[in-house]
């Protein structure tokens, strides 16, 4: 192996090692913090039954949360509503809609995660009011089939997602 290849391997190894170290230090400093983990709650029984290995599956509206391009091959207008009763009386409401338009499919979804009010305690253990927590996520996107590769084509898609958390 020549010197250039050895240097490239060494630099790659250092970058990989430093990246995993930075990730580990971030994880340890972020205990108790989540980045909208509620967006990972399953909204599809079909995807859950497949162990969430759903990225390459398409053809219906359930693909929205896994891969927006999966909706491209859906020829019909579809809508879905999901209600999930989750742990500690939390709940998730999810609504999604897709319809053929503009040579492909347009789609949108709205998700609302709610945590029931719980009592806030001060340093002495006395109640000092209640806390309400909720997440709201909105998604809008477009997908279509490009017939440049073969007769089946290539499904492409993209989406814009907006999520907000309210703590009151």
Give residue-wise pLDDT tens across range 60-108: 888 888 888 888 888 889 999 988 888 888 888 999 999 998 888 999 9
Residue pair 49/62 in contact (Cβ under 8 Å)? The answer is no
Closest by Cα among 117, 111, 113 to 91: 113
Percent of the chain with pLDDT over 70: 74
Confidence of residue 122 (pLDDT cuts 50, 70, 90): confident
Higher pLDDT: 134 or 39? It is: 134
CA 85 distance to own-chain centroid: 19
HEC letters along 77-116: CEEEEEEEECHHHCEEEEEEEEEEECCEEEEEEEEEEEEE
Percent of the chain with pLDDT over 90: 13
Reported pTM: 0.68
Residue 128, H or E segment: strand 127-146
What's the chain's Rg over C-alpha atoms?
Answer: 22
pLDDT at 168 over 80: no
Mean pLDDT along residues 105-113: 91
């Amino acid at each position: 192996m020549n010197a250039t290849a050895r240097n490239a391997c060494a630099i790659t190894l250092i970058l990989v090692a430093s990246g995993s170290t930075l990730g580990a230090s971030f994880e340890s400093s972020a205990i108790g913090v989540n980045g909208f983990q509620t967006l990972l709650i399953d909204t599809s029984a079909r995807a859950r039954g497949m162990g969430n290995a759903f990225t390459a599956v398409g053809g219906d509206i359930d693909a929205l949360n896994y891969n927006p391009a999966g909706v491209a091959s859906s020829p019909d207008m579809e809508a879905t509503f999901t209600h999930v009763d989750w742990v500690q009386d939390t709940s998730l409401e999810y609504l999604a809609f897709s319809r053929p338009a503009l040579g492909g499919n347009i789609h949108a979804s709205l998700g609302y995660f709610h945590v029931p009010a719980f009592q806030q305690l001060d340093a002495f253990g006395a109640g000092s009011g209640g806390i309400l927590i909720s997440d709201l996520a909105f998604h809008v996107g477009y997908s279509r089939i490009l017939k440049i590769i073969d007769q089946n084509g290539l499904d492409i898609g993209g989406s814009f997602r907006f999520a907000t958390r309210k703590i009151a």
